[in-house]
């Protein structure tokens, strides 16, 4: 058998029927994660056709996108402010009950952002196929799973058959070598990658992040990297499982236990790509040259070092429109630009290490006068862990708001919004026009940079505080 | 799914590259639990001003855009989220095909499941279509060709299986359901 990549091994293990010229492959799905926003129409499809959920034990539901983050609205002291969101919450409860799907509902102690709790609970495991009606499903690739976002019709297909029809994507190796400088994080690394290859640079491909820098990243950092694969257009992002992966997964409630664990680890050890395996594309990244990064425009590829200037690009209409929307000019340095809102959260950067890294800068300091900072942990478990080590106090004493978990201000579906014209430094993944609210201007950055910006009320290089 | 064999329409053009799904349908419209009625919110933040009035300069609001069912857009159309609401909104509005030099993967998959034809063309053809809004084009699914006004014909990639589903107006679920026995046998073996 020819040398295979990690992706090819996982793909081959799940090919129920191989693809042909006439038909795509039938690909088996090990783990199907669902949430309240992209599942209702798929449950409706099952009802229309009189079909059950084929493998409820492989289907797992939570609610995160449109859910409130204010404690009273989550725990019943006040009604959910947005009626249509409340309806989605009730509908998911009803659908899961009717179709026998396990749900970590609004008040469950293990609820959280779907891409945070999958790995956290040990549901996501190396070598699996994982899908969810959400593009940031690529996050789970950090554990060596093949994980990708699907549309609602495909959610219905997985419900009905536990399979999807898929054309095999191409492979793309991103080789990263060298040590990250102090103050430079996984978020800066992935923003630099997207800046280099562009927001459509990996369309049709599954990325595998490789090399010494990636091997040295902890699991949470690996999730941040894989999370934003979709922002380069990739179908998925993957990292080969290793001792770091196994140590992180061991003992998690849904991970294999005892003798099953030993067998699983032995099997997962065979997943990394064979030496000499072919990739359709490869690029090399020098990690040592990466600086803290921040976006200036309206897609994640419009990114510069925090200390840099917005590049000039002649009469490019898209470029001009992005600058108009952002109220910025070509050639302008971003450092020192005013910031109105800081959002620390999202499936990209809401894990305990992200909160710790922001708290490191905020401890004993206050957010700038007039600046609003919202801290939204990725899961209820992370919230409890952060509280146990006093991080909530650090944020509250600094003047930030400490909320219940959810997607929140990453996409503003739940009413956590940035006002029109305001500048938001956000640890999330998308700076599209209107993403955080109509007219809102988003600058994507790492938790360290976000915290530094919060303290100064201006775009700030986090290394000033280290 | 409504079958699609041939489509003859003038084009409506949105020239920007990287038009993302948050522009096609902003997140605040995703709290729906049905797939209908989203056409009114298509490109909402570009189409309407703060008072909800149509912006006269936006391409879809111009009188010549009325009745157009072919959208020509800049490179990497439909990037961003997996929301099928983007395809539902376009289809509900009356768009049956999107032509671009690049279409994002998840949007492309979603489009095909809703009788919305994704057409990826070369840079010259894409550039010409962006520069000449409102031209009449013909799309033929069976031959996977785009015919431009002077009769020039451009072929585009269309998977045989997707082509079959579009022509017959059938979705993929039937194909998968017919293989349930094979899937169960595979599960036993693994």
A16-52 pLDDT, tens digit each: 999 999 999 999 999 999 999 999 999 999 999 999 9
CB pairs under 8 A between A and B: 166
Are A157 and A174 contained in the same domain? no
Is it the case that residue A408 has pLDDT exceeding 90? yes
Question: Would you say residue A260 lies in a domain?
Answer: no
End residue of a domain, out of A142, A166, A190: A166
- Which two structure tokens, joined as six digits, stand for B32? 């729906």
The values of phi and psi at residue B117, to 5°, are -85, 120
- Which two structure tokens, joined as six digits, stand for B68? 């157009």
Residues of B in contact with A433 (CB under 8 A): 22-23, 45
User: A91 and B33 in contact by Cβ < 8 A?
Assistant: yes
Question: Would you say residue A255 lies in a domain?
Answer: no
- pLDDT at res. A313: 86
Are A272 and A312 contained in the same domain? no
- pLDDT at res. B112: 97
Q: How far is B5 from chain A (nearest CA, A)?
A: 19
Residues of B in contact with A35 (CB under 8 A): none
Q: Where are the beta strands (DSSP E) in A29-177?
A: 31-34, 59-62, 102-104, 129-132, 146-149, 163-166, 170-177
As a whole number, the mean pLDDT across chain B is: 97
Are A35 and A156 contained in the same domain? yes
Are A239 and A213 contained in the same domain? yes
User: B84 and A49 in contact by Cβ < 8 A?
Assistant: no
Question: Would you say residue A259 lies in a domain?
Answer: no
Section B7-21 average pLDDT: 97
Is ipTM over 0.90? yes
- What CA–CA distance (Å, rounded) separates A51 from A41? 14
- pLDDT at res. A32: 98
In contact, B95 and B50? CB cutoff 8 Å: no
Q: How far is B137 from chain A (nearest CA, A)?
A: 25
Are A316 and A434 contained in the same domain? yes
Nearest by CB: A41 against B34, B160, B182: B34
Section B84-94 average pLDDT: 98
Are A213 and A283 contained in the same domain? yes
B36-46: per-residue pLDDT in tens? 999 999 999 99
Question: Would you say residue B135 lies in a domain?
Answer: yes
Number of domains in chain A: 3
- What CA–CA distance (Å, rounded) separates A442 from B53? 26
User: Which among B146, B15, B17 is positioned nearest to B77, based on CA atoms?
Assistant: B17
Please report the residues numbered 129 through 168 in chain B whose beta carbons come closer than 8 angstroms to any beta carbon of chain A: 159-161
Residues of B in contact with A194 (CB under 8 A): none
- For residue B98, give its domain range: 6-189
Is it the case that residue A394 has pLDDT exceeding 90? yes
- For residue A67, give its domain range: 6-166
Are A186 and A272 contained in the same domain? yes
- What CA–CA distance (Å, rounded) separates A89 from A66? 8
Question: Would you say residue A62 lies in a domain?
Answer: yes
Nearest by CB: B33 against A40, A169, A430: A40
Q: How far is B124 from chain A (nearest CA, A)?
A: 18
Nearest by CB: B105 against A26, A160, A203: A203
User: B177 and A160 in contact by Cβ < 8 A?
Assistant: yes
Phi and psi based region of residue A334 (left: phi greater than 0; alpha: psi -120 to 50; beta: remaining): alpha
Q: Select from B30, B55, B75, B78 the residue whose CB has the most chain A CBs within 10 Å, as the one to mutate to test that interface.
A: B30
Q: Select from A200, A228, A235, A410 the residue whose CB has the most chain B CBs within 10 Å, as the one to mutate to test that interface.
A: A200
Helix axes A83-99, A40-49, angle to 10 degrees: 40
Q: How far is B152 from chain A (nearest CA, A)?
A: 28
User: A135 and B177 in contact by Cβ < 8 A?
Assistant: no
Query: Around Cβ A288, how many Cβ atoms within 10 Å?
Result: 12
A307-361: per-residue pLDDT in tens? 999 999 877 888 999 999 999 999 999 999 999 999 999 999 999 999 999 999 9
- pLDDT at res. A1: 80
Write the CB contacts of A267 (distance below 8 Å, at least 6 apart in sequence). A127
A122-178: per-residue pLDDT in tens? 999 999 999 999 999 999 999 999 999 999 999 999 999 999 999 999 999 999 999
Are A130 and A190 contained in the same domain? no
In contact, A145 and A236? CB cutoff 8 Å: no
Q: What is the CATH number of the domain that holds B67?
A: 3.20.19.10
Number of domains in chain B: 1
- pLDDT at res. A42: 98
Are A326 and A276 contained in the same domain? no
Nearest by CB: A149 against B35, B82, B190: B82
User: A203 and B187 in contact by Cβ < 8 A?
Assistant: no
In contact, A271 and A10? CB cutoff 8 Å: yes
- What CA–CA distance (Å, rounded) separates A38 from B102? 25
User: A21 and B171 in contact by Cβ < 8 A?
Assistant: no
In contact, A382 and A116? CB cutoff 8 Å: yes
Query: At A17, is the secondary structure helix, strand, or coil?
Result: strand
User: B179 and A17 in contact by Cβ < 8 A?
Assistant: yes
Section A65-86 average pLDDT: 95
As a whole number, the mean pLDDT across chain A is: 97
- What CA–CA distance (Å, rounded) separates B146 from B121? 9
Put simply, whether B41 touches A (Cβ < 8 Å) is: no
Query: At B57, is the secondary structure helix, strand, or coil?
Result: coil
At CB < 8 A and 24+ separation, what contacts does A459-463 make?
A459/A294, A459/A306, A459/A334, A459/A335, A459/A336, A459/A337, A459/A339, A459/A425, A460/A306, A460/A335, A461/A183, A461/A292, A461/A306, A461/A307, A461/A335, A462/A183, A462/A292, A462/A306, A462/A361, A463/A182, A463/A183, A463/A292
Are A215 and A336 contained in the same domain? no
Are A246 and A366 contained in the same domain? no
Are A284 and A336 contained in the same domain? no
End residue of a domain, out of A166, A183, A203: A166
Q: What is the CATH number of the domain that holds A360?
A: 3.30.499.10
- Band of residue B1 on the pLDDT scale cut at 50, 70, 90: confident
Is it the case that residue A96 has pLDDT exceeding 80? yes
Burial category of A284 from C-beta neighbours within 10 Å (exposed 0-12, middle 13-18, buried 19 and up): exposed
- pLDDT at res. A10: 98
Q: Select from B1, B21, B28, B103 the residue whose CB has the most chain A CBs within 10 Å, as the one to mutate to test that interface.
A: B28
Q: Select from B59, B79, B100 the residue whose CB has the most chain A CBs within 10 Å, as the one to mutate to test that interface.
A: B79
Q: What is the CATH number of the domain that holds A275?
A: 3.40.1060.10
- pLDDT at res. A218: 98
Question: Would you say residue B1 lies in a domain?
Answer: no
- pLDDT at res. A182: 98
């Amino acid at each position: 058998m020819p040398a295979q990549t990690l992706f090819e091994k996982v793909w081959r293990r799940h090919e129920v029927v191989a693809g042909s010229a006439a038909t795509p492959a039938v690909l088996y799905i090990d783990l199907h994660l669902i949430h309240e926003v992209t599942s209702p129409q798929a449950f409706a499809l099952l009802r229309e056709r009189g079909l059950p959920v084929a493998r409820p034990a492989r289907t797992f539901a939570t609610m995160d996108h449109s859910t409130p983050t204010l404690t009273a609205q989550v725990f019943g002291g006040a009604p959910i402010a947005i009626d249509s969101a409340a309806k989605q919450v009730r509908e998911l409860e009803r659908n899961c009950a009717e179709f026998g799907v396990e749900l970590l509902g609004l008040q469950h102690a293990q609820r959280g952002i779907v891409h945070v709790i999958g790995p956290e609970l040990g549901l996501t495991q190396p070598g699996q196929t994982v899908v969810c009606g959400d593009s940031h499903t690529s996050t789970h690739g950090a554990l060596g799973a093949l994980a990708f976002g699907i549309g609602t019709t495909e959610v219905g297909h997985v419900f009905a058959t536990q399979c999807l029809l898929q054309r095999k994507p191409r492979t793309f190796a991103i080789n990263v070598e060298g040590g990250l400088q102090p103050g430079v994080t996984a978020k800066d690394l992935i923003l630099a990658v997207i800046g280099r290859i562009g927001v459509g640079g990996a369309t049709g491909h599954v990325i595998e992040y490789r090399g010494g820098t990636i091997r040295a990243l902890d699991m949470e950092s690996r999730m941040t990297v894989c999370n934003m694969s979709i922002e380069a257009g990739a179908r998925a992002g993957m990292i080969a499982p290793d001792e770091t992966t196994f140590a992180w997964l061991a003992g998690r409630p849904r991970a294999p236990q005892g003798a099953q664990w030993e067998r699983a680890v032995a099997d997962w050890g065979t997943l990394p790509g064979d030496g000499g395996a072919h990739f359709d594309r490869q690029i090399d990244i020098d990690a040592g040259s990466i600086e803290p990064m921040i976006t200036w425009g309206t897609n994640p590829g419009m990114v510069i070092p925090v200390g840099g200037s917005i590049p000039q690009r002649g009469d490019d209409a898209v470029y001009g429109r992005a600058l108009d929307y952002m109220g910025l000019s070509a050639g302008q340095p971003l450092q020192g630009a005013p910031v109105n809102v800081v959002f620390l959260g999202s499936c990209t950067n809401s894990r305990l290490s992200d909160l710790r890294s922001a708290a490191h800068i905020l401890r004993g300091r206050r957010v700038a006068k007039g600046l609003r900072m919202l801290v939204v942990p990725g899961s209820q478990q992370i919230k409890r862990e952060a509280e146990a080590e006093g991080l909530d106090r650090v944020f509250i004493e600094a003047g930030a708001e400490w909320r219940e978990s959810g997607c929140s201000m990453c996409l503003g579906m739940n009413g956590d919004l940035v006002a029109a014209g305001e500048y938001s430094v956000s640890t999330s993944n998308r700076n599209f026009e209107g993403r955080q609210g109509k007219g809102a201007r988003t600058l994507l950055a790492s938790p360290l940079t976000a915290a530094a910006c919060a303290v100064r009320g201006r775009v700030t290089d986090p290394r000033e505080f280290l | 799914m409504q079958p699609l064999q041939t489509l003859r329409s003038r084009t409506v053009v949105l020239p920007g590259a990287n038009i993302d799904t948050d522009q096609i349908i902003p997140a605040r419209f995703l709290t729906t639990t049905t797939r209908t009625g989203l056409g009114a919110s298509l490109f909402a933040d570009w189409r309407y001003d703060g008072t909800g009035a149509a912006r006269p300069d936006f391409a879809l609001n111009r009188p010549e855009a009325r009745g157009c069912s072919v959208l020509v857009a800049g490179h990497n159309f439909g990037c961003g989220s997996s929301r099928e609401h983007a395809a539902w909104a376009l289809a509900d509005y009356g768009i049956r095909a999107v032509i671009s030099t690049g279409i994002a993967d998840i949007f492309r998959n979603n489009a095909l499941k809703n009788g919305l034809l994704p057409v990826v063309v070369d840079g010259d053809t894409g550039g010409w279509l962006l520069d000449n809004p409102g031209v009449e084009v013909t799309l033929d699914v069976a031959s996977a060709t785009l015919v431009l006004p002077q009769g020039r014909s451009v072929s585009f990639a269309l998977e045989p299986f997707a082509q079959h589903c579009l022509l017959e107006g059938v979705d993929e679920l039937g194909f998968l359901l017919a293989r349930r026995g094979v899937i169960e046998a595979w599960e036993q073996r693994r």
